[in-house]
Amino acid sequence: MQVVTSLTGAFPRSEALVQATRDLDRGRTTTEAVNELYLRTEAEVAQVEERLGLEPRAGGYLRWQDLFRPFAETWEGFTVGPLTRWFETNQFFRQPVLHAPPARVAGAVANWLPLAGATEVRPRKAILPGPYTFAGLMDNRSGETSEALIHRLGRLLGEEVRDLRAVGYTTFQFQEPLLVNRPPEGPRSEAVVAAYQAIAAAADGSTTAIWTYFGDAGPAWPLLTRLPVSVVGVDLSETDVLQLAPPGERRGLGLGVIDPHTSLVEDPAEIVRLARSIAERQRPTTLWIGSGAPLDLLPWEPAVRKLHGLPAVRQGLAASGGNS
Amino acid sequence: MTDRLFPTQEIGSLMKPRWQLLGQRGEPLDTAAQTDFARWNDRLHFVPGDDPMVRKFLGDRSREVGADTVRDWAALFLLRYLESTGLDRVYDGEARRIEMYEYPVRQMRGFQFVGHVRSFDNKYYLKAAGTGEVRLDHPYHVDEFEFVRDHARATPKLPITGPYTLADWSYNEYYLRRYPGWKGREVRRRAQRDFVVEIAKQAIRPTLAALIEKGCRVIQVDEPAAGTHPEEADIVAEGFNAATEGLDAEFLMHICFSDYRPLFPALLEAKRVHQWAWEFANRDTDGRDGYEILKLFNEYGDTRQIGLGVLDPHRDEVESPERVRDRILRAVKILGDPRRIWVNPDCGLRTRRLEVAYAKLQNMDRGAELARAELAGRAG
């Protein structure tokens, strides 16, 4: 069993970046100065990843105002809508409003990805919204049914995957909190399967992952085990993974062991004990270890502190049979 | 206390006038700020126009006035502003407050601020972690209340952030650490309960007691976080009960922009809530009936007062008096007893310009009068 530790979503902005972006809104600094700071802070995130052995590298997604904004601002068919609560958190996103069937603008989203120009940083992971969560949280005024939209988004995201592979990304993770927060049923479940089949075809053997959080993965587990991805990630603060039936076919399992809802640092030994017992039952090919929900629910310093235990977790699991 | 039907009240903060923001920072007033100050003072007479300090403020010596005096004037202004719209209960528009989390937490021990978290886009809030036993340094909002008490012509109603919201908006380290092993959902829930109850007992209750000692009779406990975790509604209620244990005042619980259904019936265990001040107008649009949710109170046999939100604070559109009347009468039809109804905006009007908020509040007063006349006509 291979053990991988990696960032699983957006990283918090540093206090310097907080100040700079506030200043930008108040007209006290320039876009150029803030962009420069974004680059420096992305490099800091990359250093944290390197120092702690977190890979594939994600880069932090510091510029993304929310999970959907790069798409809502660059793909055709969308406008950026009202502030909407981001699940049961004190964060908000601007709801994408879809006025016509969406169309991808090639290369537009790639420009938003962290590490976009840093081709020497490898292996790299692109973190993208999952088709079900994307479709479910937008205001769909396009006339297209939810099922058709989910499937269409799967195809469009598949095209993104294909293009990103060409520029060196090797791993593709799809954020799907809605899959466990509000699991699909009936035809919508089948649309989710079809969407991920489209993504899998475009991935052509690259590693793909679905990451779930903000809900218990138990009810959605039968569907999650059907999806053609390399890894399914679940949030251990929400899900009792020991109660989940092992999938019929062995594959990767992601464990969200770091809880960004609290600044309390998790005990690596406790994580190793739990992950070991889960691995014994689930027998995954690969074990991904990271945070449940993205770490941007925390400020920068506590987020970095909470990552510091991951090398010990990796070593602890390697000692019990995993290869880090 | 008023005996008339459908008494009216404000519910939260108002937009700070530009002259206050400039004045507090010691910056000179621009023409627009000077005009705004003079225009409202002509209308409300919140400070004597011939006061030498006012002349300095409106002249080129505004820096000499000082931030404290500017805050006092802002509090007086918003107090008179609210009173002049005909409200039965008022406060100072929270003129002295910047936000509702950081200030209370800074009056307590057992917290450490750990950094900024993004709320959305480039907006952030400073967040603290509970790292030790919660203790109160000193009761807060007391000076603020005394100022309002000494100047108010209508009944003061003090807003205070509730224990559940303070806990929910903080990281819980200390109380979570007390539980050994993996911090799964049930452990986090128990630790959250401990945190909420300790904030309630150790910080909120002594503050409420100090305020009551100073004559505060009506207190609005704000729990905006309650709606974000409906599965913890019982903890919200337990925190409220702990905060108000043995205290004699009229307590309101204000929760806004939530799906209230999942809070029932657990929240109703907040026994000393005298009035539920909730949002209704915001969802009374596009053919939806925003007041339908009131039926749940009937369903669960809860006969307490309702603070009926009739103004949507997120729209510039000024609700007509007739619309306000209709909303009140809709609530009467559902609840049966008109004496249970207080009339207020859904939430604080601070996102609306003061001119817009004023027009809304005036129409709220007129709408309540129309509703009274309608009921009187029916009785006649």
What is the model's pLDDT at position A125? Answer: 95
Report chain B residues whose CB lies below 8 A from the CB of A91: 117-120
pLDDT band (50, 70, 90) for residue A117: confident
Instruction: Identify the band that residue A1 occupies on the pLDDT scale cut at 50, 70 and 90.
Output: confident
Q: Scanning every residue of chain A, which has its alpha carbon at the shortest distance from the alpha carbon of B227?
A: A88
Cβ contact B183–A240 (<8 Å):
no
Q: How would DSSP label each residue in A52-112?
A: HT--SB----TT-SSTTHHHHHHSEEEEEEEEEE-TTSS-EEEEEEEEEEEE--TTTTGGG
CB contact under 8 A, B115 and A266: no
| Cross-chain Cβ contact A270/B125 below 8 Å | no
Sign of CA dihedral B306, B310, B311, B313: positive
Token look-up 């889960």 returns A278
Reduce the DSSP state of residue B248 to 3 states and report it.
coil
pLDDT tens, residue by residue, B75-107: 999 999 999 999 999 999 999 998 899 999 999
DSSP E strands: which ranges in B30-105?
A: 89-90
Nearest to A274 among B114, B119, B182 (CB): B182
CB contact A66 to B (< 8 Å) = yes
B176/A298 CB distance under 8 A:
no
Residues B238-255 pLDDT 10s: 999 999 999 999 999 999
Element (H, E) at A290: strand A286-291
pLDDT (average), residues A98-117:
89
Say yes or no for a CB contact (<8 Å) between B117 and A24. no
* Mean pLDDT of all residues in A171-193: 97
pLDDT confidence of residue B226? 93
Which residues of chain B neighbour A261 with C-beta distances below 8 Å?
171, 188
Residues (pLDDT < 50) of chain B are none
Interface test with B, best of A11, A18, A182 (most B CBs within 10 A): A18
Q: How far apart are CA B176 and CA B166, in angstroms?
A: 16
Out of A18, A238, A262, the one facing B176 most closely (by C-beta) is A262
Pairwise CB contact (< 8 Å): B172 & A240? no
Global ipTM: 0.94
CA B157 to chain A, closest CA, distance in angstroms equals: 27
**What is the structure's pLDDT at B1?**
54
List the A252-258 sheet strands across, edge first. A2-5, A286-291, A252-258, A231-235, A207-211, A169-175, A124-129
> Which is more confident, A118 or A36?
A36
Reported confidence tier of residue A323, pLDDT bands at 50, 70, 90: low
Average pLDDT for A176-192: 97
Q: Is the pLDDT of residue A115 over 80?
A: no
Q: Mean pLDDT throughout A311-323?
A: 84
**The pLDDT of residue A324 is above 50:** no
- Contacts A259 to B, Cβ<8 Å: 183
pLDDT of residue A105: 92
A44 in contact with B at a CB cutoff of 8 Å?
A: no
Q: Which residues of A touch B188 (CB under 8 A)?
A: 237, 261-262
Structure tokens at B380: 């006649």
Are A299 and B173 in contact (CB < 8 Å)? no
Asked if residue A204 has pLDDT above 90, the reply is: yes
Gap from B233 CA to chain A (nearest CA, Å):
14
List the structure tokens of B18: 């530009």
- Domains parsed from chain A with CATH numbers: 2-319 (3.20.20.210)
Nearest-angstrom CA–CA distance, B237 and A158? 48
Residue B259 has a pLDDT of 81
Q: Which tokens in the block code for residue B188?
A: 């986090």
Beta strands A76-85 and B155-156 are: unpaired
Give the mean pLDDT of chain A.
Answer: 94
Are A175 and A128 within 8 A, CB to CB? yes
- pLDDT(A57) > 90: yes
Q: What are phi and psi of A15, to 5 degrees?
A: -60, -35
Using the beta-carbon criterion (under 8 Å), do A240 and B115 form an inter-chain contact? no
